[in-house]
Amino acid sequence: MTAIQKPTPISFKAKLSKIKTWTIVRLPESASLKLPSRGQVMVTGTMNGVQFQTPLEPDGKWGHWFRVNKALQNATHATLGDTASLVVTPTKQWPEPTVPEDLQRALTAHPKVHDLWRRITPMARWEWIRWIRATGQQETRVRRIEVACSKMAAGDRRPCCWNRNLCTEPAVSRKGVLLEPTDS
């Protein structure tokens, strides 16, 4: 019998930077290389000793980053330009994603699709949402929701044929690559 190996915590220091209106932490390359995937990875961890859970997003350059919300900034007393001490541990426990309203309406309108949506894993739901939001064009987003519903109606549990290593946040990326952050 093989023992189950626990993920190893990854310790590093990183600066809080800004891209447009978002405050982010970009992981050092040495920390990203220790993660189990170049794509999105769910982690639990601490920042300046304060616990959090978040998905680490790919940056489109084989690295990772995450958005630091105001609550975490306040709890850690970390502000833009500060260097924070972090420890992250990959986890297989994915929380339920927040489903965008347009996708929720489409799921509700298709009972068969909605049934599959409820039966797939939270990680699979995160992947569908990432694929749908990975465009800055409203027409493309609408089409992706239609395609997602069609694929799920056919039994597909995950989106296929897209590069999961690209940044899927159009507000802070261009062509799947995270924009360069600033310190102010």
Closest listed residue to residue 95, CA positions, set 51, 39, 53, 41: 53
Q: Tens digit of pLDDT for each residue in 100-129?
A: 999 999 999 999 999 999 999 999 999 999
10-90: CATH topology is Elongation Factor Tu (Ef-tu); domain 3 (2.40.30)
pLDDT tens for each residue of 30-83: 999 999 999 999 999 999 999 999 999 999 999 999 999 999 999 999 999 999
What is the structure's pLDDT at 160? Answer: 86
- What single-letter DSSP state applies at residue 41? E
The domains of the chain are located at: 10-90, 101-153
- What's the rounded Cα separation, in Å, for the pair 112 and 110? 6
In Å, how far are 72, 86, 91, 134, 156 from 35, measured between CA atoms? Answer: 22, 14, 10, 22, 27
At 132, the pLDDT band (50, 70, 90 cuts) reads very high
Segment 3-25 shows an average pLDDT of: 92
Does position 183 have pLDDT exceeding 90, yes or no? no
pTM: 0.90
Report pLDDT for 150: 97
